[in-house]
Amino acid sequence: MLGIIGAMADEVSQLKQEMSNVKIVQAAGMEFYQGTIGGKEAVVVRSGIGKVNAAMCVQILADRFQVDGIVNTGIAGSLRAEINIGDMVLSTDAVQHDVDAVAFGYPVGQIPQMDVFSFEADEKLRKMALACSQKVNPDLGVFEGRIVTGDQFISDKEKKQWLTDTFQGFCTEMEGAAIAQAAYLNGIPFLIVRAISDKADDSASMDYPEFERQAILHSTRLTKALIEAY
């Protein structure tokens, strides 16, 4: 059974509406919708924004629902000129860009005393998501690469360039790498799926609400197909 996490209500509302046999479980201020989509069992939840909310959400999915896979769906800002608004990014791995223990000999982004620098996504889930995206979003570009996460909304062009130079990130957002870390610690395969809602060069900021709406639509369509294929 897959656990589907979206940070914002809009990112999971359509999935919730399409669920059958729904049971709602409340925990830590979150509502976990357990039911079926396309005949497949799933748990869909809005985690809230930021790394702490995201990590707590994963732990509840692990402890209470015993999910055997986690998909984090949502939107992100592109860090590369070739990744356009509406395109999808599927995580190869994820790093927390706001972790800095350089004074103790760690590279920027590595959590002290963790045995890995980045958290690798599940290859099987990624291949499945790629096939699903080509089926339901055939006109969109799909990229596979590193997602960088921090408790910051990144709109500064220089900071975006730093994220690209330092981490070779494909996109930036506020939950993915925390979900990745919590999934890693629980031994649960995961994938972060991001639809791009704004670009690294700030060229599209004037119509952000419309781009955000379109990005959520693309992301939801892919996630639904992924649940049905799982």
pLDDT, tens digit, 9 for 90 and up, residues 113-141: 999 999 999 999 999 999 999 999 999 99
User: CA-CA distance, 194 to 12, in Å (whole number)?
Assistant: 13
3-class SS of residue 14: helix
Q: Which phi and psi angles does 205 have, rounded to 5°?
A: -65, -25
Nearest to 94 by CA among 68, 67, 76: 76
pTM for this entry: 0.95
What's the CA dihedral at 66, 70, 75, 76 to 10 degrees?
Answer: 120
Q: Of 63-67, 108-112, 132-136, 215-219, give the lowest mean pLDDT range.
A: 215-219
At 152-185, the pLDDT tens digits run 998 888 999 999 999 999 999 999 999 999 999 9
Extended strands (E) in the chain: 2-6, 20-27, 30-37, 40-46, 69-78, 88-96, 119-120, 142-149, 171-173, 190-198
Tokens 């629980």 locate to: 186
**Amino acid of residue 15:** L
| Residue 207 confidence (pLDDT) above 80 | no
**Amino acid of residue 63:** D
Catalytic residue among 87, 93, 122, 198: 198
Separation of CA 206 from chain center: 24
pLDDT at position 203, please? 58
Does residue 11 have an active-site annotation? yes
Does residue 173 have an active-site annotation? no
For helices 51-65 and 176-186, the axis angle rounded to 10 degrees is 30
Number of helices and strands (H, E) in the chain? 6, 10
| Residue 204 confidence (pLDDT) above 80 | no
For residue 173, give Cα distances in angstroms to 68, 110, 127, 155, 207.
24, 17, 22, 11, 19
Confidence of residue 201 (pLDDT cuts 50, 70, 90): low
User: CA-CA distance, 33 to 139, in Å (whole number)?
Assistant: 31
Catalytic residue among 10, 11, 87, 93: 11
Q: Of 20-34, 111-125, 205-219, give the lowest mean pLDDT range.
A: 205-219
Q: Which residues of 67-80 are buried (b: 16+ CB within 10 A; e: fewer)?
A: bebbbbbbbbbbbb
**Amino acid of residue 156:** D
